[in-house]
Amino acid sequence: MKDDAQLIRDALGGDSAAFGQLVTRYQDRLFNTLVHVTGCAEEAEDVAQETFVKAYLKLDSFAGRSAFYTWLYRIAFNLSVSRQRRRRREVSIDRIREMSGNDLPDGGEVPAVKLERAERVAQVQSALGTLSEEHRTILVLREMDGCCYETIADILEMPVGTVRSRLHRARLQLRQRLRELVEESS
């Protein structure tokens, strides 16, 4: 299996199948991250598709100072922000649930346990949806995508210290919102 650097060289040399391998390697990861960031599967799909087109067109500008996925995610993040600025509309929590498909696979669990888990998932999604895009993005990158602080700093083009402080504030806000949602449902 070729590494990213070799696939990029091959793609720049005219081998479109090499870029196709990069797409295959990163499309699911990028899409899943974007679903959490945008709050909508359709929007995430559109942004991911736009991202790969733009990455293909700008591949010669990839300097290799960061990982290819970091560069790719930066493109996706910028596209997402631009699209959101153009649209300036709030995504409803019901729409987030509907589009992200929080239905859990049947693992033979007791219905009460499945219901409880589904309620927790809905509460977390609802709480995430109330955070600013900035805080939601940092939380998703760290907690769901497993990125280290340095990678998040590269993607968002900010100092590591800023990432740490914003992540801390995002966690506090999420925790507070979850408490409120639990109290509301009690």
Q: Which of 56, 71, 101 is the last residue of a domain?
A: 101
Domain assignment of residue 160, given as a range: 103-186
90: domain CATH number?
A: 1.10.1740.10
Q: How many structural domains is the chain composed of?
A: 2
Give the pLDDT confidence of 157-175 residue by residue, as tens digits. Answer: 899 999 999 999 999 998 8
Q: What is the pTM of this model?
A: 0.64
**pLDDT per residue as tens digits for the range 29-74:** 999 988 888 878 898 999 999 999 999 999 999 988 888 999 999 9
Co-location of 80 and 36 in the same domain: yes
131 vs 27: which has the higher pLDDT: 27
> What would you report as the CA-atom Rg of the chain, rounded to the nearest whole angstrom?
18
- The answer to whether residues 97 and 138 belong to one domain is no
The DSSP line for 75-140 is HHHHHHHHHHHHH--PPPHHHHHHHHT-PPP--S--HHHHHHHHHHHHHHHHHHHHS-HHHHHHHI
pLDDT of residue 98: 58
User: Are both 108 and 22 inside the same structural domain?
Assistant: no
Does residue 11 share a domain with residue 55?
Answer: yes
User: What is the average pLDDT value for the chain, to the nearest integer?
Assistant: 83
- Same domain for 112 and 77? no
* Alpha-carbon span 114 to 106, nearest angstrom: 8
Phi, psi of 13 (to 5 degrees): -85, 0
pLDDT for the residue numbered 111: 73
**Does residue 88 share a domain with residue 130?**
no
Q: Is 31 helix (H, G, I), strand (E, B) or coil?
A: helix
